[in-house]
Structure 1
Amino acid sequence: MSIFATRPLRILAADDSAVMRGIMRTMFERHAKDSRSELPKMELVGFSRDGVECLEEVTRLSPDVLVLDLEMPRMNGLDVLDRLRHTKPRLPVIMCSSHTEMGARATLDALARGAADYVMKPAGQRDLASALASLAEQLLPRIAAFAAERNRPESAAQVPPALPRVATPGRPGESVASAGTPIEVLVIGVSTGGPTALEQLLPRLAVDLPVPILIVQHMPKLFTNVLAERLDRCCGLRIAEAYHGAPLQPGGVWLAPGDAHMEVAPRAGLQDKGGASGQVRLHYRDPLHHCRPAVDYLFLSAARMYGAGTLAVVLTGMGSDGLDGARAVHDRGGVVLAQDEASSAVWGMPGRVAESGIAAAVLPLDGMAREVNQRISAGRREIGATPGTVSVPGSRREVAHGLY
């Protein structure tokens, strides 16, 4: 039985803003009185007004989750994170970020330094009730998820799930793609823990991949552009935030903007000279699974357009977004891969896919790129360098990806 079934989760918050401290205090008090909530009970055990005090309170109070502001006196949130990675490496830290470009960049730095996730500070709400609702919707489910992950036994975290590696049609040990259908598009869905996962996965993909790549990462507007820039700097592939009508060309990587759903759509006329046979379609329908962009929109459109030529990858994330789309890819003969539990920040999205039996493989993050490279190269005749090989340094600028 989880210890959280017998006691409330212990939460420590660090923020120098009296307004934010007041909002958080009221939020936790209301949650404690909400008998209808399916989330576990939570107790705000303390507040810290600066980074130095935060480190002292972590040692004194032993919280289950830390909610940490980025900008604080004496020691900022990034420096606090650096200290905690040595003293409390398993403590989940959720950052509070502002709706600014500087806040977005600092938040991505925090995730790279070990923060589990982030939430947006209430901004632009008309009243206190709206601010409380905005923060509670983001923060409380994350606290519950990360506390559960922390409570999972260390031994269990090291053992991959006992799920079949192959679950798609074809000969034993073989997926549809390896049975002869060439992959025509790679689509990736990811949420909680995604920026870090993408920074590990994308640089390991072959720079000469002969297919377009599209990614939905659950993130707000402004953050996705900053993330695309960050990924582009660390990767041999060309990565950019998508725009409506962007061409789908071999090796081009498009990241869905944070305020729009992204789909693939046919391109008018024949292929252009760059090899594009499709294009990005953005739309602004209501959020799906409380998300915009939503993974399901991308996966469903890829299944319709590319059928068995679709390779869908579901990485770490909370919730079930991507499950319906992954099922559509599978039903049309495409290939679905899911990240395993041990390497996921939260095994929600990939876990739902794996447990449904539609995943051709359930893989650790460090093995995902090799699997993707191999599946994309399967069924293609070697022309020069084989897709999946690593290019020599300096070759990045010589590869025509068609993004610019």
Structure 2
Amino acid sequence: MDTISVLVVDDSALMRNLITRMIEQSPDMKVVGKAMNGDFALQKIPILKPDIIILDLEMPKMNGLEFLEARRKQGIDVPVIILSSIARKGAKVTMDALAMGAADFVTKPSGSISTDIHVVADQVQALIRAYGGKYARSIGKTIPDPPVGNAETQAGYREAPPAEHISTEKPAPPRTPAADSPAAPPPRQLNRAVEAPRGLEPLQPGTLPKQIDLIVIGISTGGPNALRKMFAAISRDLPVPIVVVQHMPAGFTYEFAKSLDRICPLVVKEAEDGEDLKPGHIYIAPGDTHVQVHAPGSPGGSGASGASDDDPGATGSSRSMGTIRLNREAPENGHRPSADVLFRSAAKQFGNRCLAVIMTGMGRDGAREIGTLYANGAATIGQDPGSCVVYGMPKVAYDAGYLYQQVPLSHMADTIAAITADPQSLA
């Protein structure tokens, strides 16, 4: 069995040594080199041939963003994990790094005796297995797939990026589904599982809706770059709101939503408690906060800001289609926000008038309650194994028989638009 080779790039000798100790606690990965800035890293890459790079952003001579730009120009496709500071400024620069091709990020530990060292170590190892392992397998190394059935660490949440730079300009022209992309593949109907995974019950599908009023998405490892690709291609004319649970630490989701808004034809924002769900809007669950949805007219479901469904003047993006509620209740499946919390509220409040999507990520979050939506008759789809960084969350839902289709990431935006227009197409 081969090991995953890692290059650590940080101007702090203490941090380089600390990260190295974290990595080499695990026998399946090894630090093959260290560099004190991006310039030295570029010189070492062709010699050391790492499977993954752990990169600081603030360094002399060549900082992290400058390294990512040079990496792009040189066509280097080795995935990069960012070491990020927790401050708001660090969050913004981290999102810039993701836009420039970084795969993921982890927040720096605060010191060699900090109580968060073991948490960061688990996060670093999980991300190395997800991204570095996938890259190593792509070049012929014998590396096992990362585990998918257990709850993941809070850091596991993104997809390896393409080599090319992703524009941060918000698209101007309207886009209709599939207007500038290959035709989506035919729906892949799934065989219902003989035995559901442990802890999940076999369920029968309910009656599919004639109308979709809400789209809910659960996503984790591989998520931010997957969402960047998907939302850049989403239809400008999508007539319903989208609510997303992306596993991400507190302090980063505001900047993440802003970075998505720059490339998406719809409005993307961090969700706020009590605000209305509106067509043409995408709401990102805040880090460390559960998000729930309430249907119009339900207790807790009357938004304060937007027009109600009974208002004849409520049209287009001003029309309220429900309300968002946030809470800080206990984590579920090891996560806050949790996709299961969002999916459960969608099933209770919207019944079968939902499209639920479960995408790349380790663990099981979302798999149980997407089954509740499926049994209620909601439309349910998952990301296919070939385009997932970690085929975990969608695999558990797939194995339980809770999904109608699996869809490659490249066709997810068009599939969402098609199902929203005609949910009966899944029958």
Task: Please report the TM-score for the alignment, with normalisation by the length of structure 2.
Answer: 0.75
What CA distance in whole angstroms lies between the structure 2 residues aligned with 1:176 and 1:204? 30
Residue 127 (structure 2) aligns with? 142
Indicate whether 1:28 and 2:23 are aligned: yes
Deviations 1:16-40 (A, max 9, x none): 12332232233235x14xxxxxxx5
Contact 2:209 2:378 in 1 (8 A): no
Deviation, structure 1 residue 65: 1.8
Deviation, structure 1 residue 47: 1.6
Indicate whether 1:166 and 2:189 are aligned: yes
Residue 248 (structure 2) aligns with? 219
Secondary structure class of the residue paired with 2:262? helix
Deviation, structure 1 residue 245: 0.9
Residue 90 (structure 2) aligns with? 103
Contact 1:308 1:334 in 2 (8 A): yes
Deviation, structure 1 residue 302: 0.6
Indicate whether 1:317 and 2:361 are aligned: yes
Residue 220 (structure 2) aligns with? 191
Q: 1:168 to 1:231 in 2, by over 3 A?
A: farther
What CA distance in whole angstroms lies between the structure 2 residues aligned with 1:137 and 1:248? 36
The residue type equivalent to 2:262 in the other structure is R
Residue 299 (structure 1) aligns with? 343
Secondary structure class of the residue paired with 1:137? helix
What CA distance in whole angstroms lies between the structure 2 residues aligned with 1:55 and 1:43? 19
- Structure 2: give runs of 5+ residues left out of the alignment: 141-185, 193-204
Secondary structure class of the residue paired with 2:293? strand
Deviation, structure 1 residue 15: 0.5
Indicate whether 1:52 and 2:96 are aligned: no
- Equivalent residues in 2 for 1:78-157 (5 A)? 78-85=65-72, 87=74, 89-123=76-110, 128-153=113-138
Answer with 187-196 or 261-270: which moved more.
261-270
Residue 67 (structure 1) aligns with? 54
Task: Please report the TM-score for the alignment, with normalisation by the length of structure 1.
Answer: 0.79
Secondary structure class of the residue paired with 2:19? helix
- Equivalent residues in 2 for 1:364-379 (5 A)? 364-378=408-422
Identify the match of residue 363 of structure 1 among 396, 407, 427.
Answer: 407
Contact 2:360 2:388 in 1 (8 A): yes
- Structure 1: give runs of 5+ residues left out of the alignment: 33-39, 156-162, 170-174, 381-404
Percent identity of equivalent pairs? 38
Aligned residues, how many? 354
- Equivalent residues in 2 for 1:152-301 (5 A)? 152-153=137-138, 165-167=188-190, 181-265=210-294, 266=298, 267-268=301-302, 271=309, 273=311, 274=314, 275-301=319-345
Q: 1:137 to 1:290 in 2, by over 3 A?
A: farther
Q: 1:379 to 1:195 in 2, by over 3 A?
A: closer
What CA distance in whole angstroms lies between the structure 2 residues aligned with 1:286 and 1:57? 45
Residue 387 (structure 1) aligns with? none
List, as ranges, runs of 4+ consecutive aligned residues in structure 1 with deviation greater than 6 Å.
Answer: none
What CA distance in whole angstroms lies between the structure 1 residues aligned with 2:76 and 2:402? 34
**Greater RCO, CA 8 A, separation 6+:** 2
Residue 12 (structure 1) aligns with? 7
Answer with 343-352 or 52-61: which moved more.
343-352
The residue type equivalent to 2:334 in the other structure is H
What CA distance in whole angstroms lies between the structure 2 residues aligned with 1:100 and 1:371? 37
Q: 1:374 to 1:12 in 2, by over 3 A?
A: same
The residue type equivalent to 1:257 in the other structure is P
Deviation, structure 1 residue 225: 0.8
Residue 333 (structure 1) aligns with? 377
The residue type equivalent to 1:102 in the other structure is K
Deviations 1:109-145 (A, max 9, x none): 222222221111124x7x7151421321211111112
What CA distance in whole angstroms lies between the structure 2 residues aligned with 1:353 and 1:154? 29
Deviation, structure 1 residue 338: 1.3
What CA distance in whole angstroms lies between the structure 2 residues aligned with 1:148 and 1:50? 24
What CA distance in whole angstroms lies between the structure 2 residues aligned with 1:81 and 1:313? 31
Deviations 1:220-242 (A, max 9, x none): 22211112122222222222111
Q: 1:88 to 1:357 in 2, by over 3 A?
A: farther
- Equivalent residues in 2 for 1:374-389 (5 A)? 374-378=418-422
Answer with 282-291 or 91-100: which moved more.
282-291
Secondary structure class of the residue paired with 1:216? strand
Report which of the two has the higher share of helix: 1
Residue 160 (structure 1) aligns with? none
What CA distance in whole angstroms lies between the structure 2 residues aligned with 1:190 and 1:19? 34
